[in-house]
Amino acid sequence: MKLSLFAAVLPALLLTSCASLVGQRQVDIPLEKIQDTLSSRFPFNNRYLDLIDVSVSNPRVSLQPQSNRLLTSMDAAIAPPFLKSSWKGNMAISGRLKLDAARNALLLADPKVESMNVDGLGSAYSGPMAKVAGFLAAELLNDAVLYTFRPGDLRYAGVQFALTAIDTTASGLRLTLEPVR
């Protein structure tokens, strides 16, 4: 009886001790991979307030290490449906990097319009365009998945890991994984 109890408890003790020996891991995600993931969401076209057609394309991703945010710059074309021409320009939207443990994913959260420059658009339109840009930022990038871990990616040496932290580096993102105890 004592031997069978020992045989049942031994594997659990070994797994627990392995988890404490393995320690945290870090995974680097190159900026190019994030760029590829976000590029799949473009071009993006939508009509806002039933008055303005907005098209954005050509996303360019960069990091804002001081604020731990990701910046996406893009080309923009804005056209009221009753005009045959459009105004062209660019805009930049930043987002906070967020870990979603339930989905084992890295997300972009709290998008914020950093800049919007549209050639030929008068100052009378700057207020309404700022609102449209805010709608666009939320629709296009809020909770956008930047990277998803496969279940096997979060196991190493028989130990299950959980996402715990994210930092920006010169060449991409560094995710910290801690053993689940």
String of DSSP letters for the chain = -HHHHHHHHHHHHHHHHHHHHH--EEEEEEHHHHHHHHHTT-SEEEEETTTEEEEEEEEEEEEETTTTEEEEEEEEEEE-TTSSS-EEEEEEEEEEEEEETTTTEEEEEEEEEEEEEETT--GGGHHHHHHHHHHHHHHHHTTEEEEE--GGGGEETTEEEEEEEEEE-SSEEEEEEEE--
Question: Does 86 fall in a domain?
Answer: yes
Question: Which residue, among 117, 115, 122, has the nearest Cα to 137 in the 3D structure?
Answer: 115
Structural domain range at position 116: 32-148
Question: Does 12 fall in a domain?
Answer: no
Q: pTM for the complete prediction?
A: 0.79
Question: Does 136 fall in a domain?
Answer: yes
The pLDDT score that the predictor gives to residue 16 is: 47
> CATH no. for residue 79?
3.15.10.40
Question: Does 180 fall in a domain?
Answer: no
Counted domains in the chain: 1
Within the chain, which residues score under 70 in pLDDT? Answer: 1-21, 122-126
Other C-beta atoms closer than 10 Å to the C-beta of 170 total 7
Question: Does 85 fall in a domain?
Answer: yes
The pLDDT score that the predictor gives to residue 14 is: 47
Question: Does 69 fall in a domain?
Answer: yes
Question: Does 114 fall in a domain?
Answer: yes
Question: Does 127 fall in a domain?
Answer: yes
The pLDDT score that the predictor gives to residue 107 is: 93
